[in-house]
Amino acid sequence: MKKTIQTDKAPKAVGPYSQAIEINGTLYTSGQIPINPATGAVVEGGIAAQTEQVFRNIEAVLSEAGYTLANVVKTTVLMQDLNDFAAMNEVYARFFTAQQPARSTFQVAKLPLGAQVEIETVAVK
């Protein structure tokens, strides 16, 4: 059975979608952008600060569903500028220290609310 996941510890959806959907022991998170859930604003400070906030948001959604980053098997990273890849990757590596998930990374023309990075995950129990 499909279950919708929602937590106030991560930003509310900025459109008609769920923060995550769980089905058959697999959690699919929507792309998280660097919105501070307490303020509703995109964090400032460049790609490193934004990537850090994205991971805080991802961890909140995973936790609400009973998952952790250790359960993540695939990520998709969308970036406004791949010239920021090294700085994003440095933060990313702090969150995935063992058994890193598969990953795809793309440069896109624009992200919601002017964000520099968006990350979605697939996690399995």
Tokens describing residue 123: 């996690």
CATH of the domain at 49: 3.30.1330.40
Which strand (E) or helix (H) includes residue 50? helix 46-64
Count of beta carbons in the 10 Å neighbourhood of residue 17:
10
Long-range contacts of 36-43 (CB under 8 A, 24+ apart): 36/11, 37/8, 37/9, 37/10, 37/11, 37/12, 40/11, 42/113, 42/114, 42/115
Domain that holds residue 112: 3-124
The whole model's pTM is what?
0.96
Distances in Å between the Cα of 42 and the Cα atoms of 23, 33, 51, 101, 118 are: 30, 8, 11, 26, 12
pLDDT in tens, 93-106: 999 998 999 999 99
Number of domains in the chain: 1
Report pLDDT digits (tens) over 16-58. Answer: 999 999 999 999 999 999 999 999 999 999 999 999 999 999 9
